[in-house]
């Protein structure tokens, strides 16, 4: 008996999902599901799946067939044996079962086998045979649903769950005296099977009635007898309690019936029940029946009569509240009383100001949770009313609604039956009133128009909320009174603030509710982001007024500051204007001053902080010969602006020399095998009042080149002085209202120049200085048709040879960046992890590493994994904040640049630790959450919405494991991906990193990591995927399409166990090394410890003692894969350091690379030995071994030795 498979999850079975069975020896052919005897013997009959299908107690599960046993070698076919006698015919006579359970006794005695089967399957089938006979054809005999009489006995009684999705099926096999069977769902594509416990077939040796349920086959026992008549123990207006004696024997429970209808099923240990929710003054008949442990129901007991007490008054209506209020209507809402007094509540009396106003019919007298609503449309705008509501069994005698209700109820009564509501005394007809509820006929959520003048707004009634946010839209999900409830999400929309003190262009929104006296609210962006008080509390305004919300703080708005005094402006040369003024007095009701805002031509150019004493400002980088206009506004400590001072005009003078260019930086590049030094810089902070037309580049103090600014830029500088409209000059409207070089769109653009005349290895010093526009280029600027206005005359007054001072020197050595390494290169690569968990505590770790480079390079180390370089919340660098700020706890940005250049000079590849799974914010957003990021600038949209560390992100869901310690980055956002690619590109092209290490790759999808590596030019890249399962790592490599190597954690765990136990069997997996090293060595980075493993007890702590560590390094430094030496191991002891350098040198000199061939010579207890690349041999363990003649001993230590070819 057999089933072919592909070694994985694909199986080839016979028609009907059966196993193949060969009944005798011979030579057989199996092709496309067809099995035939090649010796011309009849093909064997395919038998049913006796143990290859699904077994167990779960109808819905399917398990793979048992693993086939390996076959013996083919042998010559024996002589044909006599054929056995034909087996009895399959079962064909199967009948439905319509009789009740009690009538099955005669069947049990004389008429074969009856099977009762409970299942959720729609069409179960019985695949069966009489013992020793032939099986039915697949899928077998259909099992019909049981008849109504049998279902009545079994269906509701099974488990006491009348909503059970499983149905009862029954089949009668009148000719069978024994039976072997399994049950399936009928297929036809994929069969599900129900078999006995352990996967065996069900088997019956005798006739009878049997039940199959939950994988158990048991004989049906007679149902239990009827219990004694129940006793009515108590009764109230709405309930009856009854008890009954327990019956003898085992029962699953009891079923309680009222007036012939099933009420409930109680567990077998209970013999009492309280029936609630009844009508008063009514008589009910109760019976009880027992249910057997098999779910069969016995006969019912005699009936017991129980009568409820007379009806009483209903309770007070529940949940009375104002659903809405407006000048035109007040809408009330309430629910039926919890206690109806034993009789239906059919109506409600509504009182206003103590007088009956309206009687309304109940929405649904039987549904206590149904909401009743009524609107009072006879209100007057602004008037306050008092409402109460009373529940009624029936409306008053003269009310037409009473007649309507009684006529409707009469249709439901039996002939001559009197409505018992008419017998309820008038004193018990009404409930106590709910209320009173005070309501003003106004819409408290009506939105009013906000004033431009803050002082005017402060005089208005109601509630005003000013809100500062970066959202595109803002909403207030709010509640003015508890009885009114909350608005539907997202709530009332805020508008952009028209108030000058809270300008919309600074992100201020406003909500003005003139009728509100109290407000509880939560702000949101209309999507997924919410803003609450710190601690997750709602904002609350207990009484009216004007308030502001900024950074999660709610404050009452004080009166705005007064106008600053005595503003004076004076030109200082052609590019600067000096302003002075006096602070205004702080009057009663005003907040203290925090500073001032300076406006140039109507636009803010400076926020002068420092309180009332900071009353001076120098405006720089202006145009010469140009008219400007300045005004100043005071700002209080709430950030509220006062009115602007009177504008003061002023005109700049003759231009002066520009200041030095900013941010001059130099880097070495290699293109087309040629070295060049690339310079970048930015324009001067002060252009001197005239355009900078060129830059002189100085090398070692001598001018070597001049870089001209394009004429198009010069024209834009001149055009910036024009008014928006020549006719609007009187209104001071400016197209570039700032009229400053600093505000021009291109001002911060980097300028660049390359020096190709450099000598490899030489050091150079570069400076840049700015040159103003001279007479030789004025005509080029005029050719654009420029019309100058605003009094600017710099084109007519340009001076020749106006040159500014030189910048600070940028020192650089002409050492080119190394070529990018690739995965699988057939050359020795030895990685060095250049930090441990304590390295960040050094004064400058980068400087310390400089001293290690010559020794490491000599030994053959040619790749160095550096710690994360960016500014970080933690000192270790793994909670990055500002990506482009390279000052960190390991040293300054300058020290990092010097180290990287030194690595290139030593031909050691710098590896960047890329930490982009998560990122920490540098600022709080308007809601007080740490979701405002800088360098690059992000907000909550860049963070996954399910990030648990900092809730509030509005991005997509995480595509991996969310980080618990920092916000998870949304890599599905194109802007985020562009910024990640830009950061990696900058670190590689500008700083000089050439290989990549990706941190915590489980946090986001592998295809993003693949794309990042490819966008960087597919350098050598390794992923920290902490997974000891080689299958999981291999799958990850496939998902990255081979773009990533992985740290070989399976080798780490296996090698650690082998070295400690002296048992090396696990290092050999069928002649190849364990882990990824044996499957895909080009993508295996092996290691002994790293900054996590050596200090985390969860993984067992450090690898071992000095000798154990050296044995392990002898293994990875001689084997395939890319080995990584950990700095902590390198400095743990002088002799360890010496041996590590020797082993690195052996790998380098022998040319062992990641894909070198390996022959494992021994791997057992006490000994591991291997020959790698036929150039290096190594052994470790307590037992002796030698590679034989032709080998020379190269390095050894405690329980390890390494040889090289002699």
Q: Choose the most confident range, by mean pLDDT, from 72-81, 404-413, 1115-1124.
A: 1115-1124
Enter the tokens of residue 424. Answer: 């309820």
Sign of the dihedral defined by the CA atoms of residues 418, 419, 421, 426, in that order: negative
Residues 1108-1135, mean pLDDT to the nearest whole number = 95
Closest CA to 667 of 893, 989, 888, 996: 989
pLDDT band at 737 (very low <50, low <70, confident <90, very high): very low
Enter the tokens of residue 1125. Answer: 């030496």
Q: Report the alpha-carbon distance of residue 208 to residue 1019 in Å, rounded.
A: 76
Residues 712-735, mean pLDDT to the nearest whole number = 46
Q: What is the pLDDT of residue 551?
A: 77
* 3-class DSSP state of 733: coil
* 3-class DSSP state of 274: strand
pLDDT digits (tens, 9 = 90+) for 911-944: 999 999 999 999 988 788 899 999 999 999 999 9
Of 619, 1024, 1048, 1089, which one is the catalytic site residue? 1024
Q: Report the alpha-carbon distance of residue 517 to residue 902 in Å, rounded.
A: 70
Determine the Cα angle at 411 with ends 408 and 415, to 5°: 145
The conformation of residue 696, written as its DSSP 8-state character, comes to E
More confident residue, 157 or 746: 746
pLDDT > 70? residue 1100: no
Q: Report the alpha-carbon distance of residue 351 to residue 358 in Å, rounded.
A: 7
Q: Report the alpha-carbon distance of residue 358 to residue 331 in Å, rounded.
A: 13
Average pLDDT, the chain: 85
Structural element, H or E, at residue 1106: helix 1106-1116
- For residue 332, what are the CA distances in angstroms to 29, 320, 326? 84, 7, 12
* 3-class DSSP state of 1173: coil
pLDDT > 50? residue 1159: yes
Q: List % helix, strand, coil for the chain (3-state, nearest 5).
A: 20, 30, 50
Enter the tokens of residue 869. Answer: 């370089």
Q: Report the alpha-carbon distance of residue 532 to residue 523 in Å, rounded.
A: 7
Q: Report the alpha-carbon distance of residue 283 to residue 281 in Å, rounded.
A: 7
781 near 713, Cβ under 8 Å?
A: no
Looking up tokens 């602006």, which residue turns up? 641
Looking up tokens 């290169």, which residue turns up? 825
Cis peptide before 936 (omega within 30 of 0): yes
Cβ neighbours around 1005 below 10 Å, total: 15
Residues 127-154, mean pLDDT to the nearest whole number = 86
The conformation of residue 654, written as its DSSP 8-state character, comes to S
Percent of the chain with pLDDT over 70: 87
Residue 368 Rama label (left phi>0; alpha psi -120 to 50; beta): alpha
Q: Report the alpha-carbon distance of residue 535 to residue 548 in Å, rounded.
A: 19
Beta-carbon contacts of residue 586 (< 8 Å; ≥ 6 apart): 561, 592, 593, 612
Q: Report the alpha-carbon distance of residue 417 to residue 400 in Å, rounded.
A: 23
Of 339, 419, 483, 999, which one is the catalytic site residue? 999
1115 near 1178, Cβ under 8 Å?
A: yes
Closest CA to 119 of 189, 170, 188: 170
Q: Report the alpha-carbon distance of residue 882 to residue 868 in Å, rounded.
A: 12
593 near 585, Cβ under 8 Å?
A: no
Burial (Cβ within 10 Å: 0-12, 13-18, ≥19) of residue 1: middle
Structural element, H or E, at residue 108: helix 104-110
Enter the tokens of residue 691. Answer: 């355009």
Beta-carbon contacts of residue 84 (< 8 Å; ≥ 6 apart): none
Question: Is 438 a residue of the active site?
Answer: no
pLDDT > 80? residue 275: yes
The conformation of residue 983, written as its DSSP 8-state character, comes to H
Q: What is the pLDDT of residue 317?
A: 92
Looking up tokens 């810089």, which residue turns up? 681
pLDDT band at 674 (very low <50, low <70, confident <90, very high): confident
Closest CA to 891 of 938, 839, 827, 940: 839
pLDDT > 80? residue 74: no
Q: Report the alpha-carbon distance of residue 1055 to residue 1114 in Å, rounded.
A: 11
Closest CA to 49 of 21, 28, 29, 80: 21
As a whole number of Å, the end-to-end CA separation of the chain is: 58
1028 near 1129, Cβ under 8 Å?
A: no
Q: Are strands 702-708 and 662-671 parallel, antiparallel or unpaired?
A: unpaired
Q: Report the alpha-carbon distance of residue 632 to residue 584 in Å, rounded.
A: 11
Question: Is 1024 a residue of the active site?
Answer: yes
pLDDT digits (tens, 9 = 90+) for 238-248: 899 999 998 88
Q: Report the alpha-carbon distance of residue 88 to residue 326 in Å, rounded.
A: 88
Structural element, H or E, at residue 770: strand 763-772
Residues 809-817, mean pLDDT to the nearest whole number = 81
Q: What is the pLDDT of residue 1072?
A: 95
Q: What's this model's pTM, rounded to 2 decimal places?
A: 0.44
Cα R_g (the chain), whole angstroms: 45
1110 near 1197, Cβ under 8 Å?
A: yes
Rounded to 5 degrees, φ, ψ at 155 are: -60, -60
- For residue 956, what are the CA distances in angstroms to 872, 941, 942, 962, 968? 25, 9, 9, 12, 10
DSSP assignment of 1011-1077 equals HHHHHTTS--EEE------HHHHHHHHHHTTT--EEE-HHHHHHHHHHHHHTB-GGGEETTEESHHH
pLDDT digits (tens, 9 = 90+) for 282-292: 899 999 999 88
- For residue 1013, what are the CA distances in angstroms to 339, 997, 1043? 70, 10, 7
Q: What is the pLDDT of residue 65?
A: 33
Q: Report the alpha-carbon distance of residue 629 to residue 649 in Å, rounded.
A: 4
Directed axis angle between helix 1006-1015 and helix 974-986, to 10°? 40
Q: Report the alpha-carbon distance of residue 974 to residue 1011 in Å, rounded.
A: 12
The conformation of residue 1089, written as its DSSP 8-state character, comes to -
Q: What is the pLDDT of residue 1095?
A: 79
As a dihedral over the C-alpha atoms of residue 124, residue 128, residue 130, residue 136, rounded to 10 degrees, the angle is 120
- For residue 389, what are the CA distances in angstroms to 374, 393, 399, 485, 836? 11, 13, 17, 19, 75
Q: Report the alpha-carbon distance of residue 1095 to residue 835 in Å, rounded.
A: 13
Percent of the chain with pLDDT over 90: 47
Q: What is the pLDDT of residue 918?
A: 95
DSSP assignment of 11-28 equals B--BTTTBPB---S-S-E
Closest CA to 255 of 153, 382, 390, 360: 153
Q: What is the pLDDT of residue 571?
A: 93
Looking up tokens 């050094």, which residue turns up? 842
Q: What is the pLDDT of residue 57?
A: 35
pLDDT band at 61 (very low <50, low <70, confident <90, very high): very low
Q: Report the alpha-carbon distance of residue 208 to residue 219 in Å, rounded.
A: 7
pLDDT > 90? residue 697: yes
Closest CA to 301 of 358, 247, 359, 372: 247
Q: What is the pLDDT of residue 1013?
A: 95
pLDDT digits (tens, 9 = 90+) for 356-398: 999 999 987 555 567 899 999 999 988 899 999 999 989 998 8
pLDDT > 50? residue 476: yes
Q: Report the alpha-carbon distance of residue 60 to residue 124 in Å, rounded.
A: 12
CA 648, chain centre distance (Å): 55
Q: What is the pLDDT of residue 1097?
A: 67
Q: Are strands 179-184 and 810-813 parallel, antiparallel or unpaired?
A: unpaired
The conformation of residue 988, written as its DSSP 8-state character, comes to I
Q: What is the pLDDT of residue 129?
A: 92
């Amino acid at each position: 008996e057999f089933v072919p498979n592909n070694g994985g999850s694909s199986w080839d079975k016979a028609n009907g999902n059966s196993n193949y069975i060969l009944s005798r020896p011979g030579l057989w052919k199996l092709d496309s599901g067809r099995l035939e005897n090649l010796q011309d013997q009849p093909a064997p009959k395919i038998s049913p799946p006796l143990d290859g299908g699904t077994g167990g107690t779960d109808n819905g599960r399917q398990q793979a067939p048992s693993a086939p046993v390996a076959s013996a070698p083919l042998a010559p076919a024996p002589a044909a044996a006599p054929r056995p006698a034909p087996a009895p015919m399959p079962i064909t006579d199967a009948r439905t079962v319509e009789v009740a359970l009690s009538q099955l006794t005669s069947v049990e005695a004389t008429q074969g086998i009856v099977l009762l089967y409970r299942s959720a399957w729609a069409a179960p089938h019985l695949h069966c045979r009489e013992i020793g006979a032939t099986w039915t054809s697949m899928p077998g005999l259909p099992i019909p649903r049981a008849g109504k009489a049998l279902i009545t006995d079994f269906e509701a009684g099974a488990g006491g769950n009348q909503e059970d999705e499983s149905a009862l099926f029954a089949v009668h096999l009148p000719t069978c005296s024994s039976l072997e069977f399994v049950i399936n769902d009928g297929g036809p594509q994929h069969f599900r099977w129900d078999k006995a416990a352990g996967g065996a077939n069900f088997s019956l040796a005798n006739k009878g009635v049997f039940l199959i349920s939950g994988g158990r086959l048991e004989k049906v026992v007679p149902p239990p007898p009827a219990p004694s008549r129940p006793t009515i123990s108590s009764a109230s207006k709405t309930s009856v309690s009854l008890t009954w004696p327990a019956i003898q024997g085992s029962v699953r429970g009891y079923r309680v019936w009222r007036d012939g209808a099933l009420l409930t099923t109680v567990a077998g240990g209970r013999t009492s029940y309280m029936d609630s929710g009844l009508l008063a003054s009514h008589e009910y008949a109760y019976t009880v029946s027992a249910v057997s442990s098999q779910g069969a129901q016995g006969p019912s007991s005699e009936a017991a009569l129980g009568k409820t007490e007379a009806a009483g008054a209903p309770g007070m209506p529940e949940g009375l509240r104002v659903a809405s209020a407006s000048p035109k209507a007040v809408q009330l809402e309430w629910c039926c009383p919890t206690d109806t007094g034993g009789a239906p509540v059919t109506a409600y009396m509504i009182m206003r100001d103590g007088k009956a106003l309206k009687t309304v019919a109940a929405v649904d007298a039987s549904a206590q949770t149904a909401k009743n609503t009524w609107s009072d449309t006879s209100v007057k705008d602004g008037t306050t009313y008092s409402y109460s509501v009373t529940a009624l069994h029936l409306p008053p005698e003269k009310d037409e609604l009473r007649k309507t209700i009684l006529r409707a109820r009469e249709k439901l009564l039996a002939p001559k039956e009197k409505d018992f509501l008419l017998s309820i005394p008038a004193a018990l007809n009404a409930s106590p009133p709910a209320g009173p509820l005070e309501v003003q006929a106004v819409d408290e959520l009506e939105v009013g128009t906000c004033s431009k003048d803050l002082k005017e707004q402060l005089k208005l009634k109601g509630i005003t909320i000013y809100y500062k946010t970066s959202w595109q839209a803002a909403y207030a999900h709010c509640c003015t009174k508890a009885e009114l409830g909350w608005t539907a999400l997202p709530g009332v929309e805020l508008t952009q603030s028209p108030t000058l003190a809270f300008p919309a262009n600074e992100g201020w929104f406003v909500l003005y509710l003139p009728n509100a006296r109290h407000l509880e609210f939560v702000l949101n962006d209309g999507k997924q982001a919410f803003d609450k008080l710190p601690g997750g509390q709602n904002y609350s305004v207990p009484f009216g007024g004007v308030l502001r919300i900024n950074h999660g703080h709610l404050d009452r708005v004080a009166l705005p500051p007064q106008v600053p005094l005595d503003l004076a402006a004076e030109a200082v040369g052609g590019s600067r204007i000096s302003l002075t003024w006096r602070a205004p007095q702080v009057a009663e009701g005003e907040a203290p001053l925090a500073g001032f805002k300076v406006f140039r031509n109507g636009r803010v150019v400076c926020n002068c902080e420092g309180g009332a004493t900071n009353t001076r400002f120098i405006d720089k980088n202006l145009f010469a010969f140009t008219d400007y206009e300045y005004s100043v506004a005071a700002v209080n400590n709430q950030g509220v602006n006062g009115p602007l001072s009177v504008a003061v005009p002023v005109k700049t003078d003759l231009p002066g020399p520009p200041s030095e260019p900013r941010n001059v930086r130099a880097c070495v590049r290699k293109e087309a095998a040629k070295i060049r030094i690339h310079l970048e810089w930015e324009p001067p902070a002060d252009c001197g009042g005239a355009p900078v037309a060129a830059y002189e580049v100085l090398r070692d103090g001598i001018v070597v080149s001049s870089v001209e600014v394009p004429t198009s830029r010069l024209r834009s500088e001149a055009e910036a002085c024009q008014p928006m409209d020549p006719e609007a000059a009187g209104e001071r409207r400016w197209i570039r209202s700032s009229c400053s070089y600093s505000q021009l769109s291109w001002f911060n653009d980097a300028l660049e120049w390359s020096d190709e005349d450099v000598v490899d290895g030489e050091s150079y010093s570069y400076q840049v200085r700015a040159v103003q526009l001279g007479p030789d280029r004025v005509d080029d600027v005029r050719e654009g048709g420029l019309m100058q206005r605003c009094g600017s005359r710099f084109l007519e007054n340009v001076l020749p040879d106006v040159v500014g001072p030189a910048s600070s020197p940028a020192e650089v050595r002409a050492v080119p960046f190394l070529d990018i390494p690739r995965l699988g290169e057939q050359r020795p690569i030895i990685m060095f992890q250049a930090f441990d968990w304590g390295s960040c505590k050094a004064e400058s770790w980068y400087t310390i590493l400089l001293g290690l480079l010559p020794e490491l390079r000599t030994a053959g180390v040619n790749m160095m994994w550096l710690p994360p370089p960016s500014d970080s919340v933690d000192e270790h660098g793994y909670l990055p904040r500002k990506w482009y700020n390279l000052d960190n706890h390991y040293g300054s940005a300058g020290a990092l640049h010097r180290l990287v250049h030194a690595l290139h000079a030593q031909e050691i590849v710098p590896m960047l630790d890329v930490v982009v799974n998560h990122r920490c914010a540098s600022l709080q957003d308007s809601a007080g959450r740490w979701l405002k990021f800088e360098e690059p600038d992000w907000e909550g949209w860049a963070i996954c919405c399910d990030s648990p560390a900092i809730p509030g992100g509005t991005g997509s869901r995480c595509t991996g494991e969310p980080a618990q310690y920092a916000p998870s980055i949304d890599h599905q956002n194109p802007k985020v991906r562009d910024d990640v690619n830009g950061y990696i590109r900058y670190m590689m092209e500008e700083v000089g990193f050439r290989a990549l290490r990706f941190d915590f790759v489980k946090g986001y999808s592998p295809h993003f990591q693949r794309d990042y590596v490819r966008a960087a030019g597919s350098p050598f890249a390794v992923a920290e995927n902490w997974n000891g399962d080689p299958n999981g790592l291999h799958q990850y490599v496939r998902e990255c399409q081979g773009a990533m190597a992985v740290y070989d954690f399976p080798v780490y765990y296996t090698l650690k166990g082998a070295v400690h136990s002296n048992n090396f069997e696990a290092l050999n997996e069928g002649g190849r090394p364990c882990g990824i090293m044996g499957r895909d060595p080009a993508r295996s980075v092996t290691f002994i410890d790293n900054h996590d493993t050596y200090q985390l007890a969860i993984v067992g702590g450090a690898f071992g003692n000095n000798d154990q560590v050296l044995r392990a390094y002898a293994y990875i430094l001689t084997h395939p894969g890319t080995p990584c030496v950990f700095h902590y191991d390198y400095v743990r002891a002088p002799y360890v350091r010496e041996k590590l350098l020797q082993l690195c040198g052996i790998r380098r000199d022998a040319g062992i690379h990641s894909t070198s061939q390996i022959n494992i010579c021994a791997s057992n207890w006490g000994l591991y030995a291997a020959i790698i690349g036929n150039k290096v041999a190594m052994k470790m363990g307590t037992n002796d071994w030698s590679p034989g003649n032709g080998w020379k001993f190269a390095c050894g230590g405690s329980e390890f030795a390494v040889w090289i070819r002699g």
